Amino acid sequence: MFASIASVVSACIAACGLFFAWRQARESALRRADVLNWAEQAIDALQSLLLICVLDDGELDPAVEKDKLTAIMFATSTLTERGRLFFKNEIRGDGHGQDKEGAYQGYRPKILDQLVIAHQIARQWHEASADDRKIMLILAEDAARTFVSLAQQEVGRSKTASAVTKRAGDGRDLDELVKEFNRARLEQGSSFARARAEAAVVVVATRSGASK
């Protein structure tokens, strides 16, 4: 009986080993780690562009805005080209782009389109009219959300490590939270503020003792 149980356990262990080996090989073949790293950098650029588009004139120093747009312009260009290593153009048989190099023939993947749109917005933002900027803001938001949705399908987790983190939030925004805030908590303040105050007291006491 024990021999039978041992053989079943051994078979299960072997099966698990094969499964994990297959999964690791599949992960390596899909280059998921590389795609994830690429996607994270792309999200940084897309979200930075969206924030610039959202801010009103004067909220961001013009020099800072110019530097950030320049960085986004370069980042989205190189990320688009790097993305071609992971996502190939679709050949539809209509001859689109057939005069170009192999990697550029056919139709660019939708996930890369979002980076191209962001690149063009970053380049044209300073010269754009107020009305065009309103349109660009919506397009920048669409690009960021579309990219994240597509990237999530590609490298996002299908399950969470904990059931707790899987639970949905209530969707409330800042205005609602401020309106419903328990004012009694203001008397206690934040833990960070208390720690900072305590540290300041220690510094003053130390300096006072050293001066004696």
Query: Is the whole model's pTM more than 0.75, yes or no?
Result: no
Q: Exposed, middle or buried, 157 (CB in 10 Å: 0-12/13-18/19+)?
A: exposed
Residue 65 lies in a domain: yes
Residue 59 lies in a domain: yes
Per DSSP, helices labelled H in 55-162 are 62-83, 110-124, 130-155
Q: What is the mean pLDDT of each run of 10 residues along the chain (212 residues)?
A: 61 56 54 96 98 92 96 98 96 90 94 98 96 97 98 90 85 90 85 79 72 64
Calpha distance 51→34 (Å, rounded): 26
Per the structure, the count of domains in the chain is: 1
Q: 74: domain range?
A: 33-156
Residue 152 lies in a domain: yes
Q: What is the DSSP string of 143-184?
A: HHHHHHHHHHHHH--SS-S-HHHHS------HHHHHHH--TT
How confident is the model at residue 111, as a pLDDT?
Answer: 98
**Tell me, what CATH number does 105's domain have?**
1.20.120
How confident is the model at residue 2, as a pLDDT?
Answer: 60
Residue 25 lies in a domain: no
Residue 136 lies in a domain: yes
Residue 191 lies in a domain: no
Residue 126 lies in a domain: yes
Residue 73 lies in a domain: yes
